[in-house]
Amino acid sequence: MLEISVAIATYNRAHLIGETIGAILAQALPPTEIVIVDDGSSDDSERVIKAIDGPIRYHRIDNVGPGAALKTAIELCRSDWIAMCDDDDQWFPNHLSRKAALLERHPDAEFLFANFSSFGDAAIEGFHAWDDIPAGWWDGLPAADADGFRYFGPDQLARFLDYNPVFPTAAMMSRRLYERSGGIDPVFSRLGCWDAHMTWRCVLHGAVASDDTITASTRRHAGNFSRQRSRVNIERASMLDRARQDGWIPAKYHVALERAIAASRVDAASWAWLEHDYRTMREQLARVPAAQIDRNLRLKAMIARLPAALVNRLRAPDTSGKGAA
């Protein structure tokens, strides 16, 4: 039987983590251990976790951010395979058993990820992660088999720089790959997209396989979605800039890297427009080649340079039925 460790970083989730652990313990293929690193919680998390009966190893550390806390959890895991789960997400009972079946089908794969849904205050009815994958992203890959399994193989970094459909809760990797790739960089621990950096490293250094079946669900909390998206895209561009400076991305991926940096800044500008944050919009677009800014966004950028009162007038809802700017 495949031995799998589960790595969880938690912070002030005493009211939610019990559900997460319960779903993990209900797996058709039980994990060998659940390693939980408490990132300096100030609530009742420790008592809640320690009251649960199961193969749980709890460790408490000073607050270092979610990325570095998960790095600690992964490094404490003892199994050859490591699955990750956010402290407020949930797995369906077949999550680990399908990972094992996928690995049996493609034994050289070292990085596995699955489709996932969402739940919670800000969940989108009927949403699943594959819905957001852009047209053309699957090009060049074999079709999924009858079980929904698909083999990407190695050398997939360019594809995942263009778009990253991986969320840690739905992913599993071999210990060897994690160590070989460099794993989580704690420098990015507090960024909203720290996990993308780990994914890029993993798909650069190991073969990839996926599962079309939804085996996990991520909790979406209510909040200012557009502002969060603008910030995350700015952070993503900065993280990619840092990767370029650090030199760990081979030259053959540099075109994809530059394309990804520009796309992140364009997305940040688009979300900033929705927030009426014109300064951020201008700052991001100033760093993007003109050829990568579409006509609609260029027009919005021109409007954003006008006096605020005029901009607001141009953007006011059009009650005549002709639409707004």
Residue 322: the pLDDT is 38
324 in a domain, yes or no? no
Q: Which range marks the domain in which residue 67 is found?
A: 4-219
| Distances, alpha carbon 237 to alpha carbons 20, 136, 185, 194, 300, in Å | 32, 22, 16, 12, 21
Residue 227: the pLDDT is 67
Six token digits for residue 84: 């990750």
Final residue belonging to a domain, choices 203, 219, 235? 219
**Cβ proximity of 96 and 112 under 8 Å:** no
Contacts of 260 (CB under 8 A, 6+ apart): 161, 162, 240
Residue 223: the pLDDT is 65
> In 3-state terms, what secondary structure has residue 36?
strand
Residues 41 and 82 in one domain: yes
> In 3-state terms, what secondary structure has residue 268?
helix
Give the Cα separation of 129 and 176 in Å (integer): 27
Parallel, antiparallel or unpaired: strands 33-38 and 4-10: parallel
322 in a domain, yes or no? no
Residues 209 and 244 in one domain: no
Contacts of 199 (CB under 8 A, 6+ apart): 111, 160, 164, 166, 171
Residue 72: the pLDDT is 98
Q: Whole-model pTM?
A: 0.92
Q: HSE of 100 in the Cβ direction (CA atoms, 13 Å)?
A: 16
Residues 10 and 153 in one domain: yes
Residue 319: the pLDDT is 45
26 in a domain, yes or no? yes
Residues 242 and 294 in one domain: yes
Residues 234 and 212 in one domain: no
Residues 229 and 122 in one domain: no
Distance of CA 155 to the CA centre of its chain: 20
Q: DSSP strand E in 11-79: where?
A: 33-38, 56-60
Q: Which of 265, 74, 286, 78 is nearest to 182 (CA)?
A: 74
Which residues, listed in sequence order, are joined to residue 306 by a DSSP beta bridge?
none
Give the Cα separation of 271 and 282 in Å (integer): 12
Residues 153 and 17 in one domain: yes
Give the Cα separation of 18 and 205 in Å (integer): 35
Residues 38 and 177 in one domain: yes
Which residues, listed in sequence order, are joined to residue 219 by a DSSP beta bridge?
119
pLDDT along the chain (325 residues), means of 10: 97 97 98 99 98 98 97 98 98 99 98 95 84 95 97 98 97 98 95 94 98 96 71 95 94 97 96 91 94 92 85 67 42
Residues 131 and 229 in one domain: no
Alpha helices of 79-224 — where are they, by DSSP H? Answer: 95-105, 157-162, 175-181, 194-205
Residue 226: the pLDDT is 58
Q: Which of 179, 193, 33, 199 is nearest to 113 (CA)?
A: 199
Parallel, antiparallel or unpaired: strands 171-174 and 81-84: antiparallel
- CB neighbours of residue 126 within 10 Å: 8
> In 3-state terms, what secondary structure has residue 4?
strand
Q: Map tokens 């794993």 to a residue.
A: 183
Q: Which of 36, 35, 30 is nearest to 10 (CA)?
A: 36
Residues 23 and 163 in one domain: yes
164 in a domain, yes or no? yes
For residues 113, 117, 123 and 125, what is the CA-based torsion angle, rounded to 10 degrees?
Answer: 150
Six token digits for residue 8: 């969880």
Q: Map tokens 């890297």 to a residue.
A: 257
Q: Tally the domains of the chain.
A: 2
- The CATH number that applies at residue 37 is 3.90.550.10
Residue 117: the pLDDT is 95
Six token digits for residue 276: 């009426």
Residues 211 and 120 in one domain: yes
Amino acid present at 133? I
Residue 228: the pLDDT is 85
Final residue belonging to a domain, choices 195, 219, 243? 219
